[in-house]
Structure 1
Amino acid sequence: MASTLFTQKIPSASTIFSFYTSLSAFTILFRTILNELIPTKVRDFIVSRFKDHFSSYFNPNFTFIIEEQCDYVTNQTFRAAETYLPTLLAGITTGSLLVRSSNLKNPLAKPKFGIPVKAKILDVFEGIPLEWTLLSEKSEGLYQSRQKRYFHLTCKKEFRDKIMSEYFTYIAKSSAKILTSQDNLKIHTYNPSDYSWESAIFQHNTTFETLAMEPEVKNSLMRDLDAFSNGKDFFKTVGRAWKRGYLLHGPPGTGKSSLVAAIANYMNYSIYDLQLQSVKDDAMLRQILTKTENGSILLIEDLDCSGADASCRKKSEDEGEDGENQCKKKKKKDHQVTLSGLLNFVDGLWSSCVEERIIVFTTNHKEKLDPALLRPGRMDVHILMDYCTPNVFKKLAKMYLDGIEEHDDLFEPIEKMFREVKATPAEVIERLMVSKDPDVALKGLMEFLESKKMVKESEESEPKEADE
Structure 2
Amino acid sequence: MASSFFTKIPSLSTIFSIYTSLSAFTILLKTILHEIIPTKVRDFVISKFTNYFSSYFNSDFTFIIEEQWDYGTNQTFRAAQVYLSTILPKISTGSLLVGSSNLKNPMAELKFGVPVNSKIMDEFEGILLEWTLFSEEDNNNYRSKQKRYFHLTCKNEFKDKIMTDYFTYIAKSSVKILENKENLNIYSYSPDDQGWESAIFQHHTTFETLAMEPELKNKLIRDLDAFSNGKDFFKTVGRAWKRGYLLYGPPGTGKSSLVAAIANYMNYSIYDLQMQSVEDDATLRKILTSTENRSILLIEDLDCGGADSSSRNDNKDEGEYDENQDKKKKKQPKVTLAGLLNFVDGLWSSCVEERIIIFTTNHKEKLDPALLRPGRMDVHILMDYCTPSVFKKLAAVYLEIEEHDLFERIEKMFLEVKATPAEVTEQLMVSKNPDVTLKGLVEFLESKKMTKE
Aligned residue number for residue 435 of structure 1:
431
The Cα of 1:97 is off from its aligned counterpart by 1.0
Aligned residue number for residue 355 of structure 2:
357
Q: Which amino acid aligns with 1:100?
A: G
Aligned residue number for residue 338 of structure 2:
340
Aligned residue number for residue 209 of structure 1:
208
Where 1:209 maps in the other structure, the secondary structure is coil
Q: Against the structure 1 CA distance between its residues 257 and 90, is the aligned structure 2 distance closer, same or farther, given a 3 Å change threshold?
A: closer
User: Which segment drifts farther, 41-50 or 139-148?
Assistant: 41-50
Aligned residue number for residue 73 of structure 1:
72
Question: Does the CA contact (< 8 Å) of 2:251 and 2:362 recur in 1?
Answer: yes
The Cα of 1:412 is off from its aligned counterpart by 2.9
1:445 aligns with 2:444: no
Q: Which amino acid aligns with 1:254?
A: T
Cα separation, 1, equivalents of 2:40 and 2:311: 56
Q: Against the structure 1 CA distance between its residues 132 and 258, is the aligned structure 2 distance closer, same or farther, given a 3 Å change threshold?
A: same
Aligned length: 450
- What TM-score does the superposition give when structure 1 sets the normalisation length? 0.83
Cα separation, 2, equivalents of 1:93 and 1:48: 39
Aligned residue number for residue 399 of structure 1:
397
Q: Which amino acid aligns with 1:430?
A: E
Aligned residue number for residue 112 of structure 1:
111
Aligned residue number for residue 149 of structure 2:
150
Aligned residue number for residue 218 of structure 2:
219
Cα separation, 1, equivalents of 2:318 and 2:386: 42
1:349-388 mapped onto 2 (5 Å cutoff): 349-388=347-386
Question: Does the CA contact (< 8 Å) of 1:93 and 1:119 recur in 2?
Answer: no
Cα separation, 2, equivalents of 1:199 and 1:249: 26
1:454 aligns with 2:453: no
Cα separation, 2, equivalents of 1:438 and 1:317: 62
The Cα of 1:99 is off from its aligned counterpart by 0.4
The Cα of 1:256 is off from its aligned counterpart by 0.3
Question: Does the CA contact (< 8 Å) of 1:88 and 1:122 recur in 2?
Answer: no
The Cα of 1:24 is off from its aligned counterpart by 9.6
Cα separation, 1, equivalents of 2:234 and 2:330: 36
Cα separation, 2, equivalents of 1:318 and 1:397: 56
Question: Does the CA contact (< 8 Å) of 1:102 and 1:200 recur in 2?
Answer: yes
Aligned residue number for residue 59 of structure 2:
60
Cα separation, 2, equivalents of 1:392 and 1:251: 15
Question: Does the CA contact (< 8 Å) of 1:331 and 1:337 recur in 2?
Answer: no
1:262 aligns with 2:258: no
1:390 to 378, 388, 391: 388
1:85-234 mapped onto 2 (5 Å cutoff): 85-89=84-88, 94-140=93-139, 144-234=143-233
Q: Against the structure 1 CA distance between its residues 319 and 22, is the aligned structure 2 distance closer, same or farther, given a 3 Å change threshold?
A: closer
Question: Does the CA contact (< 8 Å) of 1:309 and 1:370 recur in 2?
Answer: no
Q: Which 5+ residue runs of structure 2 have no aligned equivalent?
A: none
The Cα of 1:242 is off from its aligned counterpart by 1.6
Question: Does the CA contact (< 8 Å) of 2:86 and 2:112 recur in 1?
Answer: no
Where 2:365 maps in the other structure, the secondary structure is helix
Q: Which amino acid aligns with 1:441?
A: T
Could you list the per-position Cα deviations for residues 65-100 of structure 1 after superposition, in whole angstroms to 9, with x for gaps in the alignment? 122222223222222211222233257565221002
Cα separation, 2, equivalents of 1:327 and 1:356: 41
Cα separation, 2, equivalents of 1:225 and 1:331: 41
1:5-84 mapped onto 2 (5 Å cutoff): 5-10=4-9, 52-84=51-83
Could you list the per-position Cα deviations for residues 320-364 of structure 1 after superposition, in whole angstroms to 9, with x for gaps in the alignment? 999xxx999957754321110100111111111111211100011
Question: Does the CA contact (< 8 Å) of 1:303 and 1:362 recur in 2?
Answer: yes
Question: Does the CA contact (< 8 Å) of 2:253 and 2:420 recur in 1?
Answer: yes
Aligned residue number for residue 277 of structure 2:
278
Question: Does the CA contact (< 8 Å) of 1:388 and 1:423 recur in 2?
Answer: yes
The Cα of 1:254 is off from its aligned counterpart by 0.8
The Cα of 1:430 is off from its aligned counterpart by 0.9
Could you list the per-position Cα deviations for residues 275-323 of structure 1 after superposition, in whole angstroms to 9, with x for gaps in the alignment? 222211111111111122222211111111233376x69999999999x
Cα separation, 2, equivalents of 1:62 and 1:8: 50
Q: Against the structure 1 CA distance between its residues 42 and 196, is the aligned structure 2 distance closer, same or farther, given a 3 Å change threshold?
A: farther
Cα separation, 2, equivalents of 1:212 and 1:58: 69
Cα separation, 2, equivalents of 1:45 and 1:146: 36
Aligned residue number for residue 463 of structure 1:
none
Question: Does the CA contact (< 8 Å) of 2:280 and 2:334 recur in 1?
Answer: yes
Q: Against the structure 1 CA distance between its residues 7 and 385, is the aligned structure 2 distance closer, same or farther, given a 3 Å change threshold?
A: same
Question: Does the CA contact (< 8 Å) of 2:67 and 2:73 recur in 1?
Answer: yes
User: Which segment drifts farther, 207-216 or 313-322?
Assistant: 313-322
User: Which segment drifts farther, 9-18 or 132-141?
Assistant: 9-18
2:421 to 409, 419, 425: 425
Q: Against the structure 1 CA distance between its residues 424 and 284, is the aligned structure 2 distance closer, same or farther, given a 3 Å change threshold?
A: same
Where 2:187 maps in the other structure, the secondary structure is strand
User: Which segment drifts farther, 77-86 or 13-22?
Assistant: 13-22
TM-align CA RMSD: 3.8
Cα separation, 2, equivalents of 1:21 and 1:245: 82
The Cα of 1:25 is off from its aligned counterpart by 11
Cα separation, 1, equivalents of 2:367 and 2:329: 15
Aligned residue number for residue 461 of structure 1:
none
